[in-house]
Amino acid sequence: MKLNYYPDTDSLYIDLSEKSSVDSREISEGVVLDYDEAGNLVGIDIDNASSKVQLKELFVSGMPGQIRAEAA
């Protein structure tokens, strides 16, 4: 899973899978869910993210595997 914030567009993309998106559905204003060909959720796109999501801190708890951070 990857979280990518794009300050120039104030959008946050949460990449849940390495699979490609073939379908997208807007579930609320500026929040789009992306699905693969089998109908599985593969990503979440959030426009105007700074007004919808707490971007100043990220807490990760109980996640198996390696956690990596890349400086902005």
The answer to whether the pTM exceeds 0.95 is: no
31-35, strands of its sheet edge to edge: 2-6, 11-15, 41-46, 31-35, 23-28
Q: What is the pLDDT of residues 29-70, one digit of tens each?
A: 999 999 999 999 999 999 999 999 999 888 888 888 888 888
Q: How far is CA 37 from the centre of its chain?
A: 19
**What three-state secondary structure class fits 12?**
strand
pLDDT of residue 12: 97
pLDDT at 72 over 70: no
